[in-house]
Amino acid sequence: MNRFILPLGGFALLVLVLFLGVKTSPERSTLQSVLIGKPAPEFTLPDLMNPGRQLSSKDWAGNAYVLNVWGTWCPGCRQEHETLLRIAQLGQAPLIGINWKDEDSLAHEWLAQLGNPYAAIVSDHSGRTAIDWGVYGAPETFLVDSQGLVQYRHVGPMTMEVWEKQFVPRITGKPVDPS
């Protein structure tokens, strides 16, 4: 029995250290992306709001924009939707939506019911474009600067606090609040 106490105690200590590290990490919802500082992946996808029309990432060349990956099947996307509507009203950067692995009819119903915060929305039915961006789950939100470089990635539902502390300073060129 005594021979199990030391390994069990060591394991419990390891679990505690890992738990505290994850719990207290100031950047829990920010995952580094290999795209930070690199050109945003190019895409051409169907325009959700105008069937038969294609939209391309080149349509926003020379302008900063915020790219939000969402789906009607995503609980976190519903959670952040009101915040996205508020962000859109601020007009600090256009919000581009990628409706990821979703049915167009469901996306139209969602937007009719909850409102449309997006300047444009593309449909990524296959999920290939989201893969190019390194998305592994919705919602995820990226900031692309006017040179077409990815400047920031936020994983999880957007909040006004994240918007004001992480996105706005990068859009306006002011220092980012480290807290």
**In sequence order, what E strands does 62-117 have?**
65-70, 95-100
Give the pLDDT confidence of 138-159 residue by residue, as tens digits: 999 999 999 999 999 999 999 9
Return the structure tokens found at 111: 């937007």
DSSP state of 149: B
Model-level pTM greater than 0.85? no
Which amino acid, 25?
A: S
pLDDT score recorded for residue 19: 53
- Domain boundaries of the chain, sorted by first residue: 27-172
Residue given tokens 């469901």 in the structure block:
106
- Class in CATH terms, 27-172: alpha beta
Q: Is the CB of residue 155 less than 8 Å from the CB of residue 133?
A: no
Give the pLDDT confidence of 101-120 residue by residue, as tens digits: 999 999 999 999 999 999 99
**Cis peptide before 46, with omega less than 30 degrees from 0?**
no
Give the pLDDT confidence of 66-98 residue by residue, as tens digits: 999 999 999 999 999 999 999 999 999 999 999
